[in-house]
Amino acid sequence: MPSSVRVLAFAGSTRRDSFNKKLVKIAAAAARAAGAEVTEIDLANLPLPLFDHDLEAAEGQPANAVTLKRLMREHDGFLIAAPEYNSSITGVLKNAIDWASRRSADEEPLVAFAGKTAALMSASPGALGGLRGLVHVRSILGNLRVLVLPEQRAISRAATAFDDNGHLVEVSEQTAIEALGRRLVEVTEKLRA
């Protein structure tokens, strides 16, 4: 029986050949196989100016911010592959979160985040696989009232971690990322029951 869970999957990168875009596709496929309705988006297709309160006051929220926020509101959970830049979250991911967290006059606070679930993963050429950045993403989302699953995965040496078909070469890593996608669906279903 199909799940009623809707999952939004994206990477915190705009790079065309991003390792994290490949990674989130694996988790998204597993969530879909678990019965969820999965929407995959690319933040490169939703360019946003740097968050600026004066800009927002003068012009309102940019159209792409409104679109992103609507997509987040329409989904129950998030699969996020978050690259690590300088031991932290990427600017593009933080900026997207900042815009999506803005409240319109007719909305409850944090409508795009509160009560949602999220599963985090990362891939990096370094030995830690982006693990340090995930700490910050987890903290930010938790403060926005997202239930972030304790399970997460960081894939190191990402330049050689994927095969030509976008799968992880190491079977244990492929299995772990697929498990994240399934686990997000399972937990979200239980919370919605």
What pLDDT, on the 0 to 100 scale, is given for residue 105?
84
What pLDDT, on the 0 to 100 scale, is given for residue 139?
98
Strands 84-85 and 88-89: antiparallel
What pLDDT, on the 0 to 100 scale, is given for residue 3?
62
Query: Does position 88 have pLDDT exceeding 80, yes or no?
Result: yes
**What residue type is assigned to position 28 of the chain?**
A
Query: Does position 1 have pLDDT exceeding 50, yes or no?
Result: no
Average pLDDT of the chain is 96
Could you list the beta-strand ranges (E) of the chain: 6-11, 37-40, 77-81, 84-85, 88-89, 117-123, 147-155
What pLDDT, on the 0 to 100 scale, is given for residue 193?
81
Query: Does position 4 have pLDDT exceeding 90, yes or no?
Result: no
What pLDDT, on the 0 to 100 scale, is given for residue 98?
98
> Could you tell me the residue ranges of all domains in the chain?
6-192
Q: Does domain 6-192 have CATH number 1.25.40.10?
A: no
Longest dimension (CA), the chain: 51
Element (H, E) at 61: none
Query: Does position 2 have pLDDT exceeding 60, yes or no?
Result: no
Please check whether residue 68 is in contact with residue 100, taking contact to mean a CB–CB distance below 8 angstroms.
Answer: yes
Over residues 20-48, the pLDDT tens digits come to 999 999 999 999 999 999 999 999 999 99
Q: Which of 12, 15, 43, 11 is nearest to 27 (CA)?
A: 11
| CA distance readout (Å), 33 to 80, 126, 144, 146 | 18, 31, 29, 24
